Amino acid sequence: MTYEDLLIKSDVEGLIVKEKAIKGNDGRIKGKRIAIRKDLNTTAEKSCVLAEELGHHYTSSGNILSQSDTMNRKQEYRARLYGYNLKVGLMGIVRAYENGCRNIYEMAEFLECTEEYLQEALSAYHRKYGVCYELDNYIIFFEPHLAVLRKFAV
């Protein structure tokens, strides 16, 4: 999803998104208000932050700023995974492959996210699914490196 798509999704959910000068984090959610740090350089950066904040909206409860608490860390992980699925997703990996993307830079550009965010998403998928994951007519390999294989019917 693009930044614009995420803004629309937020609006549909009744969330108010503002770009503001905030310290300490790139984004924050409180109730129905999401703040995105306004001095982020690109819309790709902003969309990655907004995707995670939407993840917090859907998966978190209460104040989880203290990451020394195990439950807070679990909620943070769920919110990040939700954001990765919004911005990247397994089908996003397949779509990037089908559109000729052959490296992380090209995939990040196609998915309108940062390379760092994409790497984090791929690592999370690797932890969740293991060496590979089969999706429709594709196999997505996470080891030894990212690869997408299209299966052909015999």
Please give the chain's pLDDT, 154 residues, in tens.
899 999 999 999 999 999 999 988 899 999 999 999 999 989 999 999 999 999 999 986 666 565 666 776 787 888 899 999 999 999 999 999 999 999 999 999 999 999 999 999 999 999 999 999 999 899 999 999 999 999 987 6
pLDDT at position 152 is 85
Distances (CA, A) of 27 to 33, 76, 81: 11, 13, 16
pLDDT at position 2 is 92
pLDDT at position 69 is 67
Cα(149)–Cα(76) distance, rounded to whole angstroms?
32
Cα(85)–Cα(74) distance, rounded to whole angstroms?
17
pLDDT at position 71 is 73
Closest CA to 49 of 146, 116, 107, 126: 116
Closest CA to 95 of 138, 130, 52, 133: 138
Cα(144)–Cα(147) distance, rounded to whole angstroms?
9
Cα(154)–Cα(142) distance, rounded to whole angstroms?
25
Only one residue has tokens 């995105």, namely 36
- Chain center to CA of 79: 9
pLDDT at position 74 is 82
